[in-house]
Structure 1
Amino acid sequence: MRTYQSLSGSRNFLYEIQNQSWKGEVHSTFKQTINIKCESGKLYTIATAELDNAPNTLRVTDFFNNRPRVSEKTPVFSRNGQLVIGSIATIEAQSASEWQYPKVEFPRKQEYSRITERLKQLEQWLNHLESKGGYLLNQTQATAYEKMIHRMLQKESAQLLIYLKEKQLFQARQQLNRVIGLGPGLTPSGDDFLVGLALIFTTVNYPYHSLKQWLYNSRDELKKRTNIISFSTLDWAIKGVSRERIGSFLNELFSGEDEELLKEKMLAVLAIGSTSGGDMLTGMLAGIKLTLDLL
C-alpha cells in the first residue's frame, strides 16, 4: 500500500484526521477529485495538487498522476495522522499546510461608487469572453435546449432578485425552489448562482443581516431539492466559505486597485468546472448589485 504526501488541507479536515477517529466511505470519483462521505453525512474531498484549496478538502501530490483504482463504498478512515483508503493507499497529513477561507469584507458606503465602476469593468470583460453555457450562454452556438434552460434560469433568478429587493422574504423563499436544481449537470446552474449570491450575503459587515438569516433558514429545504455534492458547496457558501480562488477574487474586487489582477482572478473563477464558475460569478455580481440598489 503506497503512501502519498498531502500538500495542504482545510484546517478542520487536517484537525479531524490528526485528532479524531474519522470514518467514512468513498462517495464518488472524478478525474481530479475523490469525494468521501463521512459518518456525519458531510462530504470531504481528496483533490489533485493542481486544484486550489477548498472547504473540507485535502490536496495530495502524485495521487492522481499514479491514480490507484478507487471504487465507491471503499472505506476511508484516519489512523496515526494519516488518511487510509481501504487497502489501497495512505495519505500523510501531518506535513500539510493549513488553509482556511480568507476574511472577505463588504465595502463601506464611501466605496460604493468605486465598486460600481469595477462591476462595469467586469461586465465589459464578460461581454467579450467566449462563454460556455449556463447563465453566460453563447446564444450563437447554443442548442435549442440550452437556450430554453438559459431563459428559465434568467426568468426564475430575476424573479428571486425582485422579491429580495422588495424584501418579500416569504415569496423569495418559495422562489428559491424554482432556482435550486435548475439546469443540467452535477452542480446545476441554479445552485451555482445561489452559491454566488450566498457568498455576498455572508461577507463580513454585510449591511442586511436579514438576507443572511433568510438563506440560513432555507437551508433544510434546499438540501431536499438537490444532490449532496451540489448542496455541500451551497451549504459552505451559506456559512460564508468557498474555494480559495473565489475568496481571492472577492477581496481583489472589494479592496484591490489593479485592473489586470482583477481580470486574472475573474478568469480563475470562470475556469471552475464547465459552467460553475460563470454561474457563481453571475450570482456574486447579482448579489452586489442588489445590495447597492437596496441602499
Structure 2
Amino acid sequence: MRTYKSLSIAQYFLSELQEKQWTGTIHSTFARTINIIDGSGTLYTIATAELDDAPNTIRVADFFYDQLQIPLNTPVFVQHDQLIIEDVAAIEIDEVEKWKYPEIFFPSKKAYQELERRIQKVDQWLGQIDSKGGYLLNHTQTTAYEKMMHTMLRKETGHLLNYLKEKQLFQAMTQLNRVIGLGPGLTPSGDDFLVGLALIFTTTDYPYHSLKQWLINCRQELKKRTNVISFSTLDWAIKGEARERLGVFLNELFYGEDETLLKEKMLQVLAIGSTSGGDILSGMLAGVEFTLEKQR
C-alpha cells in the first residue's frame, strides 16, 4: 500500500478528519476525482493536483497517475495522521495546506455602473465562444435535442427569476422543481445554473437577504430531486462556498480593473466539465443582472 502526499485540503474537511473517528466508503470514481460518502450522506472528494481547491476536497500528488483500481464501497478511515483507503493507499494529512473559500462581498451601489460594464464585456466574450450545450449553446451544428433543452432551460429559469423579482417565493419554490435536474449529465445544466445563482444570493452584503433564507428553505426539496454529487455542489453554494476558481472569478467581476485578467478567469470557469462551467457562469451572471435590475 503506497503512501501519498496531500497538497491542500478544505479546512472543514480537515477538521472533520482530526476531531472525530471519521469513516466513509468509496462512492464513485472518475479520471480526476474520487468521491467518498460518510454515514450521514455527506460527500468528500480526493482530487488530482491539477484541479483547484474546493469544499470538502483534498488534492493529492501523484495519486491519479498510478491508475489505482478502487472498488466502490471500499472503506475509508483516518489512522495515525493518514487518510486510509483500505488495502489501497494512505494519504498523509499532518502537514497539509488548509484552504478556505474566500468571503465574497457584493459591490455597493456606487460600483454598479462599473459592474454593469464588466457584465457587458463578459456577455460579449461569451457570444464569441463555441459552446456545445447547456445555457451557452451555439446554434450552429447542434442537434434538435440540444436546441430543445437550451430553450427549456432558458424558459424555466426565466420563470424562476420572474417569480423572485415579484417576491412570489412560494411560486418560485415550486418553479425550482422544473429547473433542478433539467438537462443531461451527472450535474444537469439546471442544477449548475442554480449553483451560480446561489453564489450570488449568498455573497456578503447582498441587498436581498430573504433570498438566502429562501434557498435554505428549499434545500430539502432540492435534495430529493437530484443526485448526491450534483446536490453536494449545490448545497455548498447555498452555504456560500464553491470551487476556488468560481470565487476568484466573482471577485474579479465585482472589483477587477484588468479586462485581460477578467477574461482569463472567465475562461477558467468555462473549463469546468463539458457544460458545467458555462451553466454555472450563466447562473452567476443572471443573479447579478437580476440584482442590478431590482436596484434600478
TM-score range, shorter chain: over 0.9
| CA distance in 2: counterparts of 1:166 and 1:14, whole angstroms | 42
TM-aligned CA deviation for residue 141 of structure 1:
1.5
Q: Provide, for residues 49-100 of structure 1, a one-character-per-residue CA deviation record: whole Å limited to 9, x for no partner.
A: 0000000000000000012111110000011111000111100011210000
In structure 2, what is the equivalent of residue 66 of structure 1? 66
Write out the 4+ residue segments of structure 1 that deviate beyond 4 Å after TM superposition: none
1:18 aligns with 2:18: yes
In structure 1, what is the equivalent of residue 101 of structure 2? 101
Query: Is the contact made by 2:132 and 2:142 (CA closer than 8 Å) also made in structure 1?
Result: no
TM-aligned CA deviation for residue 282 of structure 1:
0.2
Deviates more, 1:203-212 or 1:15-24: 15-24
TM-aligned CA deviation for residue 138 of structure 1:
1.2
In structure 1, what is the equivalent of residue 36 of structure 2? 36
SS across alignment from 1:214: helix
Deviates more, 1:164-173 or 1:192-201: 164-173
In structure 2, what is the equivalent of residue 287 of structure 1? 287
Q: Provide, for residues 201-260 of structure 1, a one-character-per-residue CA deviation record: whole Å limited to 9, x for no partner.
A: 000000000111111100000000000000000000000000000000001111111100
RMSD between superposed Cα atoms in Å: 0.7
| CA distance in 1: counterparts of 2:255 and 2:156, whole angstroms | 31
| CA distance in 1: counterparts of 2:54 and 2:107, whole angstroms | 24
Paired residues in the alignment total 295
In structure 2, what is the equivalent of residue 273 of structure 1? 273
Query: Is the contact made by 2:82 and 2:94 (CA closer than 8 Å) also made in structure 1?
Result: yes
| CA distance in 2: counterparts of 1:41 and 1:81, whole angstroms | 23
| CA distance in 2: counterparts of 1:40 and 1:12, whole angstroms | 16
1:5 aligns with 2:5: yes
Query: Is the contact made by 2:26 and 2:35 (CA closer than 8 Å) also made in structure 1?
Result: yes
| CA distance in 2: counterparts of 1:9 and 1:194, whole angstroms | 25
Opposite residue 9 of structure 1, the aligned amino acid is I
TM-aligned CA deviation for residue 147 of structure 1:
0.8
In structure 1, what is the equivalent of residue 146 of structure 2? 146
TM-score, normalised relative to structure 1: 0.99
Opposite residue 5 of structure 2, the aligned amino acid is Q
In structure 1, what is the equivalent of residue 257 of structure 2? 257
Query: Is the contact made by 1:18 and 1:80 (CA closer than 8 Å) also made in structure 2?
Result: no
1:83-122 correspondence runs (5 A)? 83-122=83-122
TM-score, normalised relative to structure 2: 0.99
Q: Provide, for residues 125-184 of structure 1, a one-character-per-residue CA deviation record: whole Å limited to 9, x for no partner.
A: 000011131001111121111111111101100111111111111111110000000000
| CA distance in 1: counterparts of 2:193 and 2:148, whole angstroms | 17
Q: Provide, for residues 107-127 of structure 1, a one-character-per-residue CA deviation record: whole Å limited to 9, x for no partner.
A: 001000110000000000000
In structure 2, what is the equivalent of residue 196 of structure 1? 196
| CA distance in 2: counterparts of 1:201 and 1:123, whole angstroms | 20
| CA distance in 2: counterparts of 1:149 and 1:71, whole angstroms | 35
Query: Is the contact made by 1:180 and 1:225 (CA closer than 8 Å) also made in structure 2?
Result: yes
Query: Is the contact made by 1:192 and 1:280 (CA closer than 8 Å) also made in structure 2?
Result: yes
In structure 2, what is the equivalent of residue 217 of structure 1? 217
| CA distance in 2: counterparts of 1:294 and 1:276, whole angstroms | 27
Opposite residue 66 of structure 1, the aligned amino acid is D
| CA distance in 2: counterparts of 1:19 and 1:292, whole angstroms | 43
Query: Is the contact made by 1:106 and 1:205 (CA closer than 8 Å) also made in structure 2?
Result: yes
SS across alignment from 2:51: coil
Opposite residue 2 of structure 2, the aligned amino acid is R
In structure 2, what is the equivalent of residue 172 of structure 1? 172
Opposite residue 20 of structure 1, the aligned amino acid is K
SS across alignment from 1:273: coil
TM-aligned CA deviation for residue 36 of structure 1:
0.2
| CA distance in 1: counterparts of 2:18 and 2:3, whole angstroms | 16
| CA distance in 2: counterparts of 1:252 and 1:262, whole angstroms | 6
Structure 1, gaps ≥5 residues long: none
| CA distance in 2: counterparts of 1:86 and 1:218, whole angstroms | 37
Opposite residue 198 of structure 2, the aligned amino acid is A
Deviates more, 1:235-244 or 1:127-136: 127-136
SS across alignment from 2:263: helix
Query: Identity percentage over the alignment?
Result: 66
